[in-house]
Structure 1
């Protein structure tokens, strides 16, 4: 149940300012470490706003180029869980430390496992253009890292079950003649909310109700009496809080708040990122190759999770990643 879940306890936040504080701190932590390590040779770095823009671009890309085009079709719960993982990871990590392209595909692959969408790694990477073998290695090498950064809080409560519950209740206890016609509007809002921080700020049931009321409004249906009297029993305190939450959720989904990629800006930020990223995590760098060779001294022995964890620690705090193999469609 959501009220007693790790999601409620550890991954829900009071407001967007709290999220911004965490992201700024992650950015500053990397910059300080990077400048201490390289001194005068350090390249100009991304600021927190630059990182936010890149992350929004990769969220947009994850939905457009991977989740929507995935074969076999990807269940909604997998998509929702993947977005939760991606947003959580970058609350405490910088894109300069871990490139979003590699974390993106790892989040989706781990979500497939957790939500029991049974696809093999071979089948998964067949949906990624480029060097699929190297892409598989990237995902496998980062899977343990991702779980560690999520504190092994892998169960995600998405809004889909509450949506189904509300629809059943509306059919039974409201005057709405055809509740099923709300589904397209519900899906529309949920998809927009994937590209916002709603899952870190509002409960699944609040998001579900916001989606239902959004769809009812689009279909020129009125569910006010259902919400105020049937659902909340006329309690004015609960009603005020709920109306405010629903209002804010719907505002987050407005076109002005949903990211529209500026390709020139993204290309400029990617170029800057390439110059200041952590080379210990760059599979094309010499230091990365040397440490991987140390890890794989015995070519006949498959590395264990413990060995990968040890290698990450030796690379500076659980850092072992790669990006170059992943689809040009996931590049600006």
Structure 2
């Protein structure tokens, strides 16, 4: 259950300001460690800054999603969500200059497959990679322990897709007059898909993201689900909890609206810089 989960206790943050602070710290720790011989001007020219790291990380979020969407056999969407959460958590405390995302992405997906019991062997997994499959298999297996260590072995992820399914089951049961459930589902799943490329999953409960997705797409279809939410879904909540939930849904929508579209074409030069500066991270002790 999410209320008693490691996700809530250790991986849910107050907002984007706290997340940005952690990412700045990770960037500065790398620069201070490997940039001792540079003066401040040279460090600023040679090393990536936090904004540049963010662009690279976001680029690889799309790489992760494209890999999962094209995976054979077909991969459940919640595996993608778990892998995406691993990637986001990893780079809260690590720099892309220390661990190149191309390596971490595939390790995140492979670990998510195992945790979510989507059973594929390492050979089946790397069969979905275009080239250097043997090298990729060795890399994934060598990085797996590192990834788990950096995630503090908190591997269970609560995503918004299962709560969303629960909402649709509830609507079909309690609101039989709502006939557009399949259209709503497509819109809500698209909302959640877009949320994967924001920080929403690091700030809000998965049930709140699911509800925000449902309400967002219902308004586009001209459906008013306010009475369902107030009179059936959260009828036992007090006024303060209701106001907090409404505020969080507004914040989720705002994050999706204000997250800038990534121009992936501009990331190529940054990727070359990150590859040139990549340093081997310390492996955890057995």
Shift of 1:160: 2.0
Question: What's 2:129 paired with?
Answer: 128
Ranges in structure 2 where 5+ consecutive residues have no aligned partner? none
Asked whether the equivalents of residues 57 and 259 of structure 1 are also in contact (C-alpha less than 8 Å), the reply is: no
Asked whether the equivalents of residues 107 and 146 of structure 1 are also in contact (C-alpha less than 8 Å), the reply is: yes
Q: Normalising by structure 2, report the TM-score.
A: 0.92
Shift of 1:161: 2.0
Question: What's 1:112 paired with?
Answer: 113
Residue 165 of structure 2 corresponds to residue 172 of structure 1: no
Residue 207 of structure 2 corresponds to residue 242 of structure 1: no
Question: What's 1:56 paired with?
Answer: 58
Shift of 1:271: 2.3
Shift of 1:238: 2.2
Residue 187 of structure 2 corresponds to residue 185 of structure 1: yes
Question: What's 1:301 paired with?
Answer: none
1:253 partner SS: helix
Residue 12 of structure 2 corresponds to residue 12 of structure 1: yes
Task: Work out the number of aligned pairs and report it.
Answer: 280
Shift of 1:131: 0.5
Q: Normalising by structure 1, report the TM-score.
A: 0.80
Question: What's 2:143 paired with?
Answer: 142
Greater CA drift, 240-249 or 169-178: 169-178
Residue 272 of structure 2 corresponds to residue 271 of structure 1: yes
Question: What's 1:213 paired with?
Answer: 215
Greater CA drift, 150-159 or 41-50: 41-50
Asked whether the equivalents of residues 192 and 258 of structure 1 are also in contact (C-alpha less than 8 Å), the reply is: no
Per-residue deviation, residues 244-272 of structure 1 (Å, max 9, x unmatched): 11122122223x52533241x21221222
Asked whether the equivalents of residues 162 and 205 of structure 1 are also in contact (C-alpha less than 8 Å), the reply is: yes
Question: What's 2:256 paired with?
Answer: 253
Per-residue deviation, residues 211-240 of structure 1 (Å, max 9, x unmatched): 111221222211010112222227432222
Asked whether the equivalents of residues 182 and 216 of structure 1 are also in contact (C-alpha less than 8 Å), the reply is: yes
Shift of 1:54: 0.5
Per-residue deviation, residues 83-116 of structure 1 (Å, max 9, x unmatched): 0100000000000000001000000000000000
Shift of 1:167: 1.2
Q: CA RMSD in A?
A: 2.0
Asked whether the equivalents of residues 81 and 156 of structure 1 are also in contact (C-alpha less than 8 Å), the reply is: yes
Question: What's 1:159 paired with?
Answer: 160
- Counterpart CA distance in 1 for 2:161 and 2:62 is 21
Larger radius of gyration: 1
Question: What's 1:33 paired with?
Answer: 33
Question: What's 1:318 paired with?
Answer: 283
